[in-house]
Amino acid sequence: MRFWEAWEPGMRVVVRYRNGEGSFSDAVGELVRVDADGLEVATRRGPVAVAAADIALGKRVPPAPPARRGRP
């Protein structure tokens, strides 16, 4: 079993994956889908689907800090 297959939707995670440009990117957010084909993370910028073959690293992370209030 690969490490991310033990994760469950709803967890907050960070996943480092190979992007199409030959470098790495990170997706941080709530795990939406996880299966043998890969996973999907709901990030602040929208959903990020990551194929299993592209996943390099990942871990669970604590909840996001509360939003800061703007200056008056």
Average pLDDT, the chain: 93
Res. 62: pLDDT tops 80? yes
Strand 55-60 versus strand 38-43 pairing type = unpaired
Residue 72 pLDDT more than 80? no
- Residue 53 three-state SS: helix
The dotted CATH code for 3-60 is 2.30.30.100
3-state SS, residue 6? helix
pLDDT at 66 over 90: no
Summarize pLDDT for 28-46 with one digit per residue, the tens: 999 999 999 999 999 999 9
Q: What is the pLDDT of residues 17-27, one digit of tens each?
A: 999 888 999 99
